[in-house]
Amino acid sequence: MSDELFNFELITPSKVLISGSVNSVSIQGVEGDMTIFANHSPIATALRPGYLKVVINNKSENYFVTGGFVQIIGDEVVILAEKATLESEVSLEMIDQTINKTKNLMENASELQKCVLAKKLNDLTIIKSQL
């Protein structure tokens, strides 16, 4: 594990959950999982539903995110999450609400949007089965 720190922000539409220096962040991207350390190559990618692990002062905090985007530029990593919740606050009811919202969005979606939402629905169903 790297002792080098980098600036990290975890932002939802309603608030900034984390803004400060961290050791690492592990994400579940749509193209695969990755752990980000200081001096990571620049990248921007979408997040799929899943858990985000943030290591601060060598102690980890886990957050459940329903999706979003990550951008890495220089020593700055910003995650814009649809919704982010501490792992200890995740409940079956919350996952069910997200599943129902995703199903409702599929009703009026284009074919491309339906493909993306179907993948999200599958990810959420797997997460629900693991609770």
- 23-63 pLDDT, tens per residue? 999 999 988 999 999 999 999 999 999 999 999 988 999 99
Distance CA(7)–CA(18), nearest Å, equals 10
Could you report the per-residue pLDDT of 1-24, keeping only the tens digit for each?
Answer: 567 899 999 999 999 999 999 999
Would the pTM of this model clear 0.75, i.e. be above it?
Answer: yes
Mean pLDDT computed over every residue of the chain: 92
Distance CA(111)–CA(57), nearest Å, equals 45
**Domain ranges within the chain, ordered by starting residue:** 6-87, 91-130
pLDDT tier, 81 (very low <50, low <70, confident <90, very high otherwise): very high
Distance CA(61)–CA(75), nearest Å, equals 20
Instruction: Give the pLDDT score at 65.
Output: 96
CATH class of 6-87: mainly beta
Distance CA(78)–CA(6), nearest Å, equals 11
Q: What angle do CA 21, 24, 29 make, to 5 degrees?
A: 120
Q: Which of 65, 63, 79 is nearest to 11 (CA)?
A: 79
